[in-house]
C-alpha cells in the first residue's frame, strides 16, 4: 500500500482527495482496553464516495474500530489517515472538524432535548457556520428524513427506535462530513424502517458523494448496499473484497447468512 502524502492545507474539506488516494486509510491498527487487546493489525481503506461494509459477529471488534477511528479510543500502534492527514492521535472533536462523523451504536441522543436540538448539536464543530447555513442544513435533513420534520419539537426520548436512528444519522450529517461511520444501523429495528433509513442514505450518497462505513452484525443488509466489504473475526480482518463476491463466498454464507 502506498503512503498517502501529507497535506499542508489546514482542513480536510479544502483538500481535494485524488482518486488514487484513499480518503480514509487504516494501517495495522492494534488497540484494546486495559491489558486486553481487541484489534490485531487491522487495515482498511475507504475511498471518496465509496460505501464500505464492516461486518462481523457480536464482539468481533467493530465498535472498537470505530471508537479508534473517531478519536474516542487511543490506538496502541498503527496509523489512521484521513484525506492524507495523520489523525491517529487527534481529539474526537478535531476529527469531526476534519470531515469524519460517527453515528454510535445505541444512538446516544439527548433524550431530554428535542429532535431539532439534537440535530443542532451535530453542528457544534462548525463554529464558522452562519445561522442561515445551519438552517439550510436542517431543512435538507428534514427533506431527506421527512418524519423528523413532523417530530422536530418532540423530545428525542419519546421517539420510536427507527426515528431515533434517523435523528442520530441526521445529527452526524449536520457536521457536514465527507465520511460517515454508522454503527449498527439496523439493530433492533423493523425491516421496513431499516429500508426507509437505507433509502435516505442512498439519496445522500447519490446527492453528495459522501463515503459511508456501514458497520453491521446483519451481514446481508450491509453487503447488499456496499461497494466493498471487510469481515472482522476476533479482532482481525478475515476477508475483504467486492461486496458481491463476499455475498457469494461460501464461508460467509455458511457462517453469517445461514445458507
Ligand atoms: N469499554 C470496554 N471495556 C472493555 N472491553 C470492551 C469494551 N468495549 C468492548 N469491549 C470488548 O471488546 C471486544 C469487542 O467489542 P466490540 O468492539 O463492541 O465488538 P462489536 O462491535 O463487533 O460487537 C469484546 O470482547 C468486548 O467485550
Ligand atoms: Mg458493536
Q: Is residue 40 part of a domain?
A: yes
CATH of the domain at 32: 3.40.50.300
Q: Which residue segment(s) compose the domain that 70 sits in? A: 23-108+174-255
* Residue 9 falls inside a structural domain: no
Q: What is the CA radius of gyration of the chain?
A: 18
> Which of 33, 67, 183 is the pocket-test mutation for ligand 1 (most atoms within 8 Å of CB)?
33
- Kindly state whether residue 135 falls inside one of the protein's structural domains: no
Q: Which atom of ligand 1 is nearest to the CA of 56?
A: 22
Number of independent structural domains in the chain: 1
Question: How many percent of the chain have pLDDT more than 70?
Answer: 91
Strands 77-82 and 24-33: antiparallel
Query: Per the domain annotation, does 240 fall within a domain?
Result: yes
Predicted confidence (pLDDT) per residue in 20-64, tens digit: 689 999 999 999 999 999 999 999 999 999 999 999 999 999 999
Separation of 67 CA from ligand 2 center, angstroms?
10
pTM for the whole thing? Answer: 0.89
Ligand nearest to the CA of 184: 2
Q: Is residue 51 part of a domain?
A: yes
Whether 167 is in a domain gets the answer no
d(CA 105, CA 66): 10
Q: Give domain status of residue 98, yes or no.
A: yes
Residue 88, domain member (yes or no): yes
The stretch 191-217 carries a mean pLDDT of 90
Percent of the chain with pLDDT over 90: 73
**Cβ 88 vs Cβ 75: under 8 Å:** yes
Query: Minimum mean pLDDT among 13-22, 81-90, 198-207, 214-223: which range?
Result: 13-22
Helix (H), strand (E) at residue 237: strand 236-242
Nearest CA, atom 25, ligand 1: 59
For a mutational test of ligand 1's pocket, the pick from 59, 181, 219, i.e. the residue with the most ligand atoms closer than 8 A to its C-beta, is 59
Q: Count how many residues are written for the chain.
A: 259
Amino acid at each position: 500500500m502506498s503512503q498517502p502524502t501529507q497535506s499542508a492545507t489546514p482542513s480536510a474539506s479544502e483538500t481535494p482527495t485524488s482518486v488514487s488516494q484513499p480518503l480514509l486509510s487504516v494501517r495495522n491498527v492494534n488497540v484494546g482496553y486495559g491489558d486486553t487487546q481487541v484489534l490485531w493489525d487491522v487495515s482498511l481503506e475507504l475511498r471518496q464516495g465509496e460505501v464500505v461494509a464492516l461486518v462481523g459477529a457480536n464482539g468481533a471488534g467493530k465498535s472498537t474500530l470505530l471508537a479508534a477511528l473517531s478519536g474516542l479510543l487511543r490506538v496502541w500502534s498503527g496509523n489512521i489517515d484521513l484525506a492524507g492527514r495523520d489523525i491517529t492521535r487527534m481529539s474526537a472533536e478535531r476529527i469531526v472538524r476534519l470531515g469524519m462523523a460517527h453515528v454510535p451504536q445505541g444512538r446516544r441522543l439527548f433524550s431530554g432535548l428535542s429532535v431539532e436540538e439534537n440535530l443542532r448539536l451535530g453542528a457544534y464543530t462548525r463554529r464558522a457556520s452562519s445561522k442561515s447555513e445551519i438552517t439550510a442544513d436542517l431543512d435538507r435533513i428534514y427533506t431527506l428524513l421527512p418524519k423528523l420534520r413532523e417530530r422536530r419539537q418532540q423530545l428525542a426520548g419519546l421517539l420510536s427506535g427507527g426515528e431515533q436512528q434517523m435523528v442520530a444519522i441526521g445529527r452526524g450529517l449536520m457536521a457536514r462530513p465527507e465520511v460517515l461511520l454508522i454503527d449498527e444501523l439496523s439493530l433492533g429495528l423493523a425491516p421496513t424502517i431499516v429500508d426507509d433509513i437505507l433509502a435516505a442514505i442512498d439519496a445522500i450518497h447519490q446527492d453528495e458523494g459522501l463515503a459511508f462505513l456501514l458497520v453491521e452484525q446483519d451481514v446481508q443488509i450491509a453487503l447488499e448496499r456496499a461497494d466493498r466489504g471487510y469481515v472482522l473475526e476476533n479482532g482481525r480482518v478475515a476477508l475483504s473484497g467486492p461486496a458481491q463476491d463476499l455475498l457469494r463466498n461460501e464461508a460467509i454464507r455458511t457462517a453469517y447468512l445461514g445458507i
